[in-house]
Structure 1
Amino acid sequence: MAYVPVPKDLTKIKTKVMLNLTKRQLISFGSGALLGVPLFFLAKPHMSVSTAALLMVLSMLPFFLLAMYERNGQPLEKILYQLLQSRFIRPKKRPYRTDNFYAAVERQTNLDKEVKAIVQPENHPKKTQPRGKKSH
């Protein structure tokens, strides 16, 4: 009987599209090849073959990293985005603040009392008209 290993965590399984590569890997490798191969052939007449090949490899390296590198289930561009956010965009000091529910209720109660005092002052009694008389 054939034995097939089944991983315990099924979220790490990725659908392979072609040549045992995922769609993301195929797009990244294809983009790298579209940039690197013509660069090699354009640079070869002007420099040595080994230098042109090194230039091609260096130009294709970022695409390879985008295709293959993954940390904690996140691809490289998400990691770089979070790094840029934390280093340059978000504030460096992030003080810890709590929102105490009871303090919020107390603030709301005080505001309600203040509004009630403005709308209906306590030192002025309500003006009522005597019964039976109608105002003209």
Structure 2
Amino acid sequence: MAYVPVPKDLSKIKTKLALNLTKRQLICFSLAAAVGIPSYLFSRGTIGNSPALFLMIGLMLPFFFFAMYERDGLPLEKVLRNILRTRFLYPRVRPYQTENFYALLSGFKKEAKPIAEPEKKKKPRRKKA
């Protein structure tokens, strides 16, 4: 009897479309081919075969990286966005600031005291006869 390995975490399974590739991989690979193949065909006559091949590889490599790289379940563009946010957009030192809840309560107490206990009216003094 044949055994089929079943992954323990089913959330990591991705649907495959064609050639056992995901939709993201198909899009990135087709973009890489659309950029790389014409660059090779147009540049091999002027710079030679080997340099044109290296140029094509250099142009296609970022697309392959976007298609295949994944860190902690996040694709490359989200990883790069998080790196840019932490390095450049957000402050490096984030001081921990607490809210003083008791100061807030004492403010309410000072505010409520005059309302709860109105001032007693002073009776006018009797004049001496």
| TM-score bin (small chain) | 0.7 to 0.9
Give the distance between the partners of 1:96 and 1:108, measured in 2 at CA. Answer: 19
Give the distance between the partners of 2:44 and 2:69, measured in 1 at CA. Answer: 30
- Given the alignment of the two structures, is residue 44 of structure 1 paired with residue 39 of structure 2, yes or no? no
SS in 1 for 2:20: coil
Give the aligned partner of residue 125 of structure 1: 120
- What are the Cα deviations for residues 57-86 of structure 1, in whole angstroms up to 9, with x where unaligned? 100100000001111111111111111111
* Structure 2 counterparts to residues 9-20 of structure 1, below 5 A: 9-20=9-20
* Structure 2 counterparts to residues 48-59 of structure 1, below 5 A: 48-59=48-59
Give the distance between the partners of 2:74 and 2:116, measured in 1 at CA. Answer: 61
* Structure 2 counterparts to residues 108-119 of structure 1, below 5 A: 108-116=104-112
Give the distance between the partners of 1:125 and 1:27, measured in 2 at CA. Answer: 82
* Structure 2 counterparts to residues 67-86 of structure 1, below 5 A: 67-86=67-86
Q: Kindly, what percent of the aligned residue pairs are identical?
A: 49
The one-letter amino acid paired with 1:27 is I
Give the TM-score, by structure 2 length. 0.82
Give the TM-score, by structure 1 length. 0.79
CA-atom RMSD in angstroms: 2.3
- Structure 2's unaligned 5+ residue stretches are 122-129
The one-letter amino acid paired with 1:82 is N
Aligned residue pairs total: 122
SS in 1 for 2:105: helix
